[in-house]
């Protein structure tokens, strides 16, 4: 069955996904992650933001490269989370402590208009509205999800759009 055929037969969910990296070849890791996301089963890449360089937020280490992508998927949120963790692990992600520098971080920011509260997944992402490195790229590709007041709240965080 062609991708276009299954797209018309099952309900699509719009998912917005945050990506970040501050170790290794940042741009290559984000590009590879986006390619991996677009190749997930029953998933299509709809759009992606520019890349943004940002200082670590409530953490130490080198600057991050960040982006947000818009996926349409038939996968449930738990399956997406597991796929994200597999992609992170393939990129050499280690978790020695909270907010440690990382080769790749992939977060499910929004999953349709759903609210998920579980021990392993919270959607909308609990710190989504506090971080310029999420809000600016999300606003770029989905302005309906970001209020101007939220952008003003994070205006003092160091961030620079690269492309």
Q: What is the DSSP letter of 59?
A: S
pTM of full prediction above 0.95: no
* CATH code for the domain defined by 3-161: 3.30.70.560
Give the tens place of pLDDT for each residue, 16-68. 999 999 988 999 999 999 999 999 999 999 999 999 999 887 777 789 999 99
Give the tens place of pLDDT for each residue, 120-146. 888 788 788 999 999 999 999 999 999
CA 108/CA 74 separation, integer angstroms: 14
Tell me the angle at which helices 77-90 and 26-38 cross, rounded to the nearest 10 degrees: 140
Active site members: 93, 102, 105, 107
């Amino acid at each position: 069955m062609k991708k276009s055929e299954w797209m018309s037969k099952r309900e699509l969910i719009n998912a917005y996904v945050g990506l970040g990296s501050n170790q290794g070849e940042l741009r290559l890791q984000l590009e590879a992650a986006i390619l991996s996301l677009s190749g997930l089963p029953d998933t299509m890449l709809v759009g992606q933001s520019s890349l943004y360089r940002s200082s670590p937020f409530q953490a130490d280490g080198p600057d991050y490269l960040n982006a947000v992508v818009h996926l349409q998927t038939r996968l449930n949120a738990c399956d997406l989370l597991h796929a994200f963790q597999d992609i992170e692990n393939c990129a050499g992600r280690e978790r020695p402590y909270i907010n440690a520098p990382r080769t790749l971080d992939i977060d499910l920011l929004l999953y349709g208009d759903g609210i998920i509260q579980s021990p392993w997944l919270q959607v909308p992402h609990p710190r989504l509205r506090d971080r310029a490195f999420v809000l600016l790229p999300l606003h770029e590709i989905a302005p309906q999800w970001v209020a101007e007041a939220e952008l003003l709240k994070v205006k003092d965080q160091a961030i620079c759009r690269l492309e």
